[in-house]
Chains A and B, each alone.
Chain A
Amino acid sequence: MMTPEDGFEARLRTAFEKADANITPDAHFTRHVESRLGKPLNSRTMVLGGAGASGSAIAASQLERLADGLQFHNPLLTQFFDLVGTQSVVAIVFTLVAGTFIYVLPGRRI
């Protein structure tokens, strides 16, 4: 047998159902959430990017001497280093390393 309390609960549920019926699925809402997924915070990206770039610049300037001492058996590789310059190659490598840090650390999933 239904008590007055049960009756009120049923009415309350119906009232919520009626009120919530106005909130319908919104494709724009889903699209907006999806577009924001994986985007790191700007401040975090800037801090990480700045740290990565500074580190790369320091490392590239320090490791130039090390790279100068390298001997390549492959003539193509030797030619490439001569053309681009050791410092540029080292800078490119470290920029790639820094870029990977910026991409991975803020929580992006590959």
Chain B
Amino acid sequence: MAAHDLELVGLVVATGDRHAFGQLVERYQTLVRAMLTRMTGNHALADDLAQEAFIKAYRKIGTFTGKGSFKSWLCKIAYTEFLQSLRKRKAAAAAMERYKAHQDMEERSAKWDSGDAMDLDRALAELSEVERTVIVLCFSSGMSHSEAAEVTGLPLGTVKSHINRGKAKMRALLETKEAVQV
């Protein structure tokens, strides 16, 4: 039987067991990489940020109190990593990043042979940073509104507003595209 998250965390805190932490990485890497891929629109950058997030999680694991879920705690670290990277990339590099992200998305969609991911990423790119974040947390990472509020540090009501606005924008974008295709 697979060990519970808290058992593995306890083992890492008590003994620094890298193998136990490796099991947590195995368990959550898909979630974190998917979340960051949707947030950044760039597969390679998302993987780099995910690695940094896991390494920071290992170093800070003693601060995990077990109050919330390990998943939320880890996603909060990944979200902070994303924000820090965003700040670094902003200003002059922003235009280049968007261009690169767009290229990356096109490459991926060609490789994956699926239009869904590309449409989704394009629609996500039209949202504001915070709208994209809460939409990804709730619809991709499967978090509740409360968990998304915990990860982003926003009040619950604000999270709900951003989700509604983000959903309305995505609906308009995706349904307009469908109407054009028909």
In contact, A18 and B116 (Cβ under 8 angstroms): yes
Flag whether A82 is at the interface (Cβ < 8 A). no
Which A residues lie within 8 Å of B121 (CB)?
A: 19
Interface residues of A in 87-110 (CB under 8 A from B): 107-110
Flag whether A77 is at the interface (Cβ < 8 A). no
In contact, B21 and A12 (Cβ under 8 angstroms): no
Knowing A13-B139, A19-B38 are in contact, say whether A29-B50 is a contact too (CB < 8 A). Answer: yes
In contact, B120 and A37 (Cβ under 8 angstroms): no
In contact, B139 and A12 (Cβ under 8 angstroms): yes
In contact, A30 and B25 (Cβ under 8 angstroms): yes
Flag whether A24 is at the interface (Cβ < 8 A). yes
Which A residues lie within 8 Å of B112 (CB)?
A: 22
In contact, A33 and B54 (Cβ under 8 angstroms): yes
Flag whether A16 is at the interface (Cβ < 8 A). yes
Flag whether A23 is at the interface (Cβ < 8 A). yes
Flag whether B143 is at the interface (Cβ < 8 A). no
In contact, B167 and A8 (Cβ under 8 angstroms): yes
Flag whether A73 is at the interface (Cβ < 8 A). no
Interface of B is mostly: helix
In contact, B55 and A19 (Cβ under 8 angstroms): no
Knowing A8-B167, A12-B170, A34-B18 are in contact, say whether A25-B29 is a contact too (CB < 8 A). Answer: yes
Q: Which residue of A lies closest to B15 (CB)?
A: A109
In contact, A37 and B167 (Cβ under 8 angstroms): no
Chain A CB within 10 A, most for which of B15, B38, B54, B108: B54
B67 to chain A, nearest CB (A): 23
In contact, A25 and B59 (Cβ under 8 angstroms): no
Q: Which residue of B lies closest to A22 (CB)?
A: B112
Interface residues of B in 40-80 (CB under 8 A from A): 47, 50-51, 54-55, 58-59
In contact, B167 and A30 (Cβ under 8 angstroms): no
CA of A19 to CA of B135, assembled, Å = 14
In contact, B139 and A32 (Cβ under 8 angstroms): no
CA of A16 to CA of B15, assembled, Å = 38
CA of A87 to CA of B174, assembled, Å = 77
Knowing A12-B167, A110-B16 are in contact, say whether A34-B25 is a contact too (CB < 8 A). Answer: yes
